[in-house]
Amino acid sequence: MFECVVTIESNIGAEPAENEPAAPTALIEVWSDVACPWCYIGKRRFTAALDRFEDRDRVSVVWRSYQLAPDTPVGARRGELEALVELKGMPADQVRQMFQHVAATAAADGLVMDFDTVIAANTFDAHRLLHLAGERRDALLEALFRAHFTDGKVIDDRNVLADLAASVGMDPAEAAAALAGDAGADLVRADLTAAGQLGVSGVPFFVANRRLAVSGAQPQDVFTELLRRAVADADTEGADSGAAPGGDAEGCADDSCAV
């Protein structure tokens, strides 16, 4: 899950859902997985760019669900090192080196990742909860990333998820009841289907107005340029703005998690 892929696309043909904001508001959709370290880093960099963007009030951000390892057994409670060695067939030394690189990159962005305590988890329930969080979704996403990568919590444990819901102001009893059923499952599946239609093969994946896209935990200036082009694209009601910033990618880069 730590193999890195960068793709830059333009003129993506799918249309936003009917309930999404219409032009001239720019819509940024972000496909990510709470078990992806580059998604955590990418969120931090994108948020920093958005906070400094002069037209911040003209941008609507929607976080979409993605699963890098949907077959991860729920409740297995295996360390991430063991899981990658077993499921991906990767040498342990190679995994440790990747962990060190990712942790160092995260630290440069003010994030703490302790891979010695990270527990491999199935993230489907976490994504369900995110869809049920309403205006607290961004705060819950931060809490999930921190719980997984910093605190060593088991984020496919529904008791843990209910506690995290409470930590951002949600009702833990309501969250637990929702998770006991299938609330939000169709919304997660819809996001996964849309990702397939868009050709997403690595996350984080940032899509502006369903026409411009940037993949990976890019530098802040790349996200700033994406935001500028997104607003310009919204102003011209979909006129072709060309490829998103960053240029054509070749080979592999250290900023996204691949399927």
Instruction: Dump pLDDT digits (tens) for 148-178.
Output: 999 999 999 999 999 999 999 999 999 999 9
Residue 1 pLDDT greater than 80, yes or no: no
- Band (pLDDT 50/70/90 cuts) for residue 88 is confident
- Band (pLDDT 50/70/90 cuts) for residue 256 is low
Cis peptide before 24 (omega within 30 of 0): yes
Determine whether domain 8-258 maps to CATH 3.90.230.10. Answer: no
Residue 232 pLDDT greater than 70, yes or no: yes
Six token digits for residue 85:
């060695």
Query: pTM score, two decimals?
Result: 0.85
Please provide the DSSP assignment of 138-186 as one string: HHHHHHHHHHHHTS---TT-HHHHHHHHHHTT--HHHHHHHHHTTTTHH
Six token digits for residue 35:
């078990």
pLDDT of residue 246: 43
pLDDT of residue 251: 27
Q: Where are the domains of the chain?
A: 8-258
